[in-house]
Chain A
């Protein structure tokens, strides 16, 4: 619980998100990964979402965001399966990845158009659920700069999103 970060007013308790979106994310995971991996995909999705939740803007589209997180997690699972497989022919991840690139919903469509730093930080933070400390380890710079990049990126995403 970061005491230096003032909690934003207006984000509902995360339990509400799980209750409201749990069944839909489960259906999505079932459609995209093997039955044996469904639990992992569902849990990874909500863990990443829980991690990012306090920093989310209250006006982001939670449904679209969670859908994107779940798709990424399903792709991750395909990729790690493919890496483990001895069979060199692993076409499944390519197909799923291509699909995810083209039909991401809502505001997340515009992430690709952000300046590099903002795009990287936002992807790691909101789609990967990484802490700012870990993001700085990946993209360099300071935590304060990473937070600023995330905040600027979210701001321009909101401006592009006319829902």
Chain B
């Protein structure tokens, strides 16, 4: 690292901290390594706003957040420390429930209801799209449930990977079908589909 690069790295870290203290850091983000590839984590002051897989294009995701929430976006790892730690533990099989605060402002209406219901399918279990639709009190809204899961802004934190097709197939996943199968394997969910408590 040249002196110039080191200076800028230090200045940028200082800027992120001062912006946060001044209430100007509307969206902080960092990229973490995971068994599913690089993950973008972005958070407002309220909680984690977005988790994005590399296949979504992290730059495109940040541009979208700038348009939809606020362009006051900075690389500022500190705000994501706890989320990164919990994800590490989750991927290591040591943590079953991710508890960091989540900010669902990107969602409204029924989609928001659907992703909010996702944690009712417990770790190590799966449910069909139809079962999740029933859980939300709208048993016929199967397609809407599929669409809501496909647009879950915080995959992993809200477990849309536990929702599978009723024919036993894994079904679509933002991170790709392999990622979904890997997560279900991790959670030891091969034993059959059961709706959690």
Contact = CB atoms under 8 A, between A and B. Distances in A.
A10 interface: yes
Given A1-B26, A22-B11, A53 B74 contact: no
B189 interface: no
B72 A14 contact: yes
B74 A43 contact: no
B75 to A, nearest CB: 5
A36 to B, nearest CB: 14
A128 interface: no
A14 B70 CA distance: 9
Contact of A26 (B8, B27, B73): B8
Contacts of A51: 22, 24
Contacts, number: 75
A12 interface: yes
Contacts of A1: 26, 44-45, 69-70, 72
A12 B66 contact: yes
Contact of B15 (A9, A10, A11, A43): A43
Contacts of B8: 22-23, 26
Interface string B25-47: 01101000000000000001100
B63 interface: yes
B15 A13 contact: no
Interface in A10-64: 10-15, 18, 22-23, 26, 39, 42-43, 46-47, 50-51, 53-54
B7 interface: yes
Contact of A12 (B22, B26, B71): B71
A47 B75 CA distance: 14
B12 interface: yes
B73 A7 contact: no
A23 B7 CA distance: 9
Contacts of B12: 18, 22
Contacts of B63: 12-13
Contacts of B45: 1
Contacts of B18: 43, 47
A13 B62 contact: yes
B66 A39 contact: no
B67 A10 contact: yes
Contacts of B14: 39, 43
Identify which of B8, B11, B26 gathers the most chain A CB atoms within 10 Å of its CB.
B11
Contacts of A14: 66, 71-74
Given A11-B71, A15-B74, 5 more contacts: A1-B72, A13-B63, A13-B65, A13-B74, A26-B7
Interface of B: 4, 7-8, 11-12, 14-15, 18-19, 22, 24, 26-27, 29, 44-45, 62-63, 65-75
20 contacts: A1-B26, A1-B45, A7-B68, A7-B69, A11-B66, A13-B27, A13-B63, A13-B71, A15-B73, A18-B12, A26-B4, A43-B11, A43-B14, A47-B18, A47-B22, A47-B24, A53-B71, A54-B70, A54-B71, A54-B72
